[in-house]
Chain A
Amino acid sequence: MRGWCVLGLVIAATANARADDVASVRPAVQVAKADAPQLRTTQQCIDQEIADRLAIKRKRRGAVDRLFVKQGRHELSIAGGYYASDLLSGTYVASGSYTYHMTDETAVEFSGAYTHANADLIRALEDKRGVVLAETYARMLFAESLLAWSPVYGKLRLGGSIVHFDLHADIGVGVIDSKTSRGASGVLGFGMRLFLGNAVAIRIDARNRTFRQELLDERFLVNDSAITAGLSLFLPFRN
């Protein structure tokens, strides 16, 4: 009887040990299975060369939102163009500006412009009458600060290549220093940047300045327009 019990105990102990062994082996097998590389359906069914080609196509389809990123960059611009004076005749204008792009859509710009009064009519009348009415070539200096909003970003095909561009609208205030006007002005404008490479852009702007101008002892509220084209340099040079 005692012998049978001992045999039974031995058999039970052996069974437990085997169960423990199996239990310890099972997770190891599972871990081993997890470690083994899982074969994807493409690898299981398709040739490796075709799988590589499909992978390249998947990478090519990935879209990059904007190739030219303005956020956090500084823009230095110089431009020149035509100044259409409300009260006087049209003439040239030269300008320079510094813009800080807070985001890709909003920016703050500080700009300065130089032009001169071009009073063709008054000069003609002075010549005829032999009198001097006003200084007809007085220089005009503008200093402005503007908020720029660029909601539109696009691509266009120019020749054979794709060029990225954006459209922006500007609003701000400034001051004028001139013999015919000394005071504040309101500025409204819109423009376009054509991006060349990572750091350079061609910039075209149209601006309207509203301010008070005094000529021949009369004061006028004038709207002077200017259209300029120029170059911009972005710092740092890379996105």
Chain B
Amino acid sequence: MPRSDDPRRARRRARTARRPERDFAKNKKVVVVGRGGLYSGDLTSSSWIAGGSVGFFFTEDLGIEASFDVTPLTLDLDAPIAKFFDDSRFEPGTAYVGLANVVWSPIHAKLKMGGGIVHADFMVFAGGGRMFHDAVQGLAFDAGFALDLFVTRWLTVRLDMRDLMAIQEIAGETHYTNNIVSTLGLAVWIPTGL
């Protein structure tokens, strides 16, 4: 029997066409994320961080995002140092972090959680922006990775971890700092109809 006439092959082709590789498609969708977590400062003290981002995926694997976060910038060592030297060298305040990133999602995964199967994506991102605070100079850069768990057709749970690199000046000393930011958030995916 010629290969083109084999009914078994025809049935297999039809099954493959009906079954998409991924249950959740990110292509041409806008994603709005709300998140919060821990800011582990290199020179400054650790604190909370909260914020969100808006992103757009051009393809299933590549997208961009713009984010805005808020964190209090404090220095626990300032009090004992000020007591010793009789002068204060740091003014605590709120830092505002504005970043733009390129997001690449090369890895799709399936997880067994409880009794069910959950789809997930591993993403890596990198970009730059600015950390607005008197103690921070120049541009800030970030790089990190995230795990998106697709819990419904339009909502995902996102865990992400990034290294926020910035030049900080504290107590007259200028240092290049690596600040670790870990957040947990919820992402809503909005189709654009494109």
Contact = CB atoms under 8 A, between A and B. Distances in A.
Interface of A: 82, 84, 86-87, 89-90, 120-122, 124-125, 128-129, 133, 151-158, 165, 167, 206, 208, 215-218, 220, 222-225, 227
Given A90-B40, A90-B42, A167-B111, 5 more contacts: A82-B178, A84-B41, A122-B81, A128-B172, A217-B80
Interface string B38-72: 10111101100000000000000000000000000
Contacts of B43: 89, 120-121
Contacts of A89: 42-43, 175, 177
15 contacts: A82-B178, A84-B40, A121-B43, A121-B81, A122-B77, A122-B81, A124-B173, A125-B81, A154-B111, A215-B80, A216-B77, A223-B40, A224-B40, A225-B182, A227-B161
Chain A binding surface SS class: strand
Given A124-B172, A125-B171, A151 B40 contact: no
A216 to B, nearest CB: 4
A158 B107 contact: yes
Contact of A84 (B42, B80, B108, B120): B42
7 closest pairs, A vs B, by CB? A154-B111, A156-B109, A216-B80, A84-B40, A225-B40, A124-B173, A90-B42
Contacts of B112: 152-154
Given A84-B42, A223-B46, A227-B161, A120 B81 contact: no
